[in-house]
């Protein structure tokens, strides 16, 4: 199983939405849209793939996980190209670092409800 860090970033710092990408502790702008820690053997993101947006609609929030997302939709950021870096030193924290450069490409996308989080009862785990 691969251990990968996948970073999604804008093609340029001045891409749309820059005012929402400031770092809270310094106020500096960042081009990073998202980071994913991937521990699967799935292929890396490809050109044309999109980031997903998650939201919580209060009417659908559960009492067991009150901060969990309830809905998902395809986002406006589309992968334009991917750079993959593989370390030459073995046994590091990650097998690969992938940088996915994204362009702003708005689409109409509907929110879809996520399945409820299922947690087995303690008796079921025994």
Spatial distance between the Cα atoms of 22 and 16, rounded to a whole number of angstroms: 13
| CB atoms near residue 111 (< 10 Å) | 13
What is the model's pLDDT at position 110? 94
Q: How confident is the model over 2-25, as pLDDT tens digits? A: 899 999 999 877 777 766 777 777
Q: Residue ranges of the domains in the chain?
A: 4-116
In tens, the pLDDT along 24-48 reads 778 778 888 999 999 999 999 999 9
Handedness of CA 36, 53, 59, 110 (dihedral sign): negative
pLDDT band at 103 (very low <50, low <70, confident <90, very high): very high
pLDDT at residue 124, rounded to an integer: 56
Nearest one of 42, 45, 97, 98 to 75, comparing CA atoms? 45
Per-residue model confidence as pLDDT tens digits over 54-74: 988 877 666 677 788 889 999
Q: 77 and 50 in contact (C-beta within 8 Å)?
A: yes
């Amino acid at each position: 199983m691969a251990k990968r860090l996948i970073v999604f970033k804008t093609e340029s710092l001045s891409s749309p939405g820059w005012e929402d990408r400031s770092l809270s502790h310094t106020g500096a702008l960042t081009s990073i849209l998202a980071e994913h820690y991937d521990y699967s053997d799935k292929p890396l993101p490809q050109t044309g793939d999109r980031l997903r947006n998650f939201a919580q609609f209060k009417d659908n929030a559960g009492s067991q996980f009150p901060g969990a997302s309830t809905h998902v939709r395809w986002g406006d950021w589309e992968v334009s190209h991917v750079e993959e870096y593989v370390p030459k030193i073995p046994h590091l924290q990650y097998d690969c670092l992938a940088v996915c450069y994204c362009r702003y490409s708005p689409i109409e996308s509907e929110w879809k409800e996520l399945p409820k989080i299922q947690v087995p009862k303690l008796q079921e785990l025994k």
